[in-house]
Amino acid sequence: MKGKILLVVGIGIGYVLGTRAGREKYDQMKAAAQKLWNDPRVQKQVNNAEGFVKDKAPDVAEFLSDSAKKVVSQVSGSKAPARKAPAKASTAKSAAAK
């Protein structure tokens, strides 16, 4: 119950602060985020990260594939699949036999 009350209070505070800030503050934050994202220094790092991922993706895929094959071979080669135990006679039949 305490958690629900805190949730409602948090929603109320967020609503009040949000309505006070209004659309103007939202637009200011959005403009600042876009300015940061479009900064040449940020875009340079984004391009560096994209290049790194493109270079390393085949190596990672091969490593994961080899590891998966190794795990499958260990699991399938180390022990046979578990078999179900034969079903036991129901307790009613065994009680009637006594």
Both structure tokens of 3: 């958690």
Confirm whether 98 is domain-assigned: no
Do the beta carbons of residue 42 and residue 36 sit within 8 Å? yes
What one-character-per-residue DSSP string does 12-56 give? HHHHHHHHHHHHHHHHHHHHHHHHHHT-HHHHHHHHHHHHHHHHH
Per-residue pLDDT tens over the stretch 57-78: 999 999 999 999 999 988 887 5
Domain count, the chain: 1
Q: Tens digits of per-residue pLDDT, 37-62?
A: 999 999 999 999 999 999 999 999 99
Q: Is residue 51 part of a domain?
A: yes
Determine, yes or no, domain membership for 32: yes
Q: Is residue 63 part of a domain?
A: yes
Domain that holds residue 57: 23-70
34 phi, psi to nearest 5 deg: -65, -40
Q: Residue 54: inside a domain, yes or no?
A: yes
